[in-house]
Amino acid sequence: MIKDVNVKFSFVEFEDAGGIGLENSEMYKRLLSQRRGAEIYKRWVEDEYKDDPKRIGIVVGRLSRNELPNDKALENDEVKQGALIYKQWMQGILNDGGADALLKQLHQH
């Protein structure tokens, strides 16, 4: 039985990227690393897609393989984790909505 739950905020980030406790928070540093990994993976997929719907098969192939971009930054576990999280998110879009949903997502960026 759970008798007590405590919540502690390490940092707060606002829409303008400002915040409270950001500079000293280890959690925030980890979050930034994960965001970097997600951005690396996103660029890698978008570079292959090249805004050409005919290339969606190549993107789907990338999402189905155990492949990550060849980027030195991904040697950092936190950065790599961000890339994997973004990949899983894109795979979820593909699995839930098919290639059309993935195309819409790629066109939003």
Q: Domain limits at 64?
A: 24-107
Is 15 contained in some domain? no
Residue 1 within any structural domain of the chain: no
Q: What percent of the chain has pLDDT over 70?
A: 96
User: Cβ neighbours of residue 26 under 8 Å, at least 6 residues apart?
Assistant: 10
The pLDDT of residue 85 is above 90:
yes
What per-residue confidence (pLDDT) applies to 76?
92
How many other CB atoms are found less than 10 A from the CB of residue 50? Answer: 10
Tens digits of residue pLDDT in 30-81 = 888 999 999 999 999 888 888 888 888 888 888 888 889 999 999 999 999 9
Q: Is 16 within the bounds of a domain?
A: no
Q: Which residues of 19-34 are buried (b: 16+ CB within 10 A; e: fewer)?
A: eeebeebeebebbbbb
- Examine residue 49 and state whether it is found in any structural domain, yes or no: yes
In angstroms, how far is the first alpha carbon of the chain from the final one? Answer: 46
Residue 6 inside a domain? The answer is no
Tokens of 67: 């492949």
Average pLDDT for the chain: 87
Say if residues 55 and 8 touch (Cβ distance below 8 Å).
Answer: no
Asked whether residue 56 is assigned to any structural domain, the reply reads yes
Domain membership of residue 13 (yes or no) is no
Domain count, the chain: 1
Is residue 7, in this structure, part of any structural domain at all? no
Is residue 16's pLDDT more than 90?
no
| CB-based contacts of 68, cutoff 8 Å, min separation 6 | 41, 44, 74, 80, 83, 84, 87
- The model scores a pTM over 0.85: no
